[in-house]
Structures are given as structure tokens and as C-alpha cells.
Amino acid sequence: MIRKLKSGKYRLYSKKKDPKTGKRKNLGTFDTRAAAEKHERAVQHFKRKGQGA
């Protein structure tokens, strides 16, 4: 999940909320939306890579 900040930057948040805090984890802040989307794909790839092996 990508949100635009007041500063004009973009922040990547986890899709699920953290059960302890009730908030989404910050997965990084980026200057452009394209950079945030690129990192989001990398995160999804990393999450899938280790499962089922």
C-alpha cells in the first residue's frame, strides 16, 4: 500500500495491520511513486521466494 505524504514523498506500508499496534508497518519512504512500486514488487517477490521450498 503506497501513500503520498505531505512532503511530496511516497511511503510503502504493509498490506496487513500489525496485531500488536493496530497500525501498518512502514516498509520505506521514496522520492517517486515509481520507486515505491518497484520496491513493493521486490518485497512481494522476497515474501514468496522462501515459501514452499
Residue 48 — pLDDT band, cuts 50, 70, 90?
Answer: confident
Q: How far apart are CA 11 and CA 8, in angstroms?
A: 10
Is residue 41 pLDDT above 60, yes or no?
yes
Sheet containing 24-30: order of strands: 2-4, 10-17, 24-30
Model pLDDT for residues 6-39, shown as the tens digit of each residue? 999 999 999 999 999 999 999 999 999 999 999 9
**Where are the domains positioned within the chain?**
2-49
Beta bridge partners of 11: 3, 29
- The DSSP annotation for 18-44 comes to PTTTSSEEEEEEESSHHHHHHHHHHHH
Q: What is the pTM of this model?
A: 0.78
Q: What is the pLDDT of residue 51?
A: 62
Is residue 52 pLDDT above 70, yes or no?
no
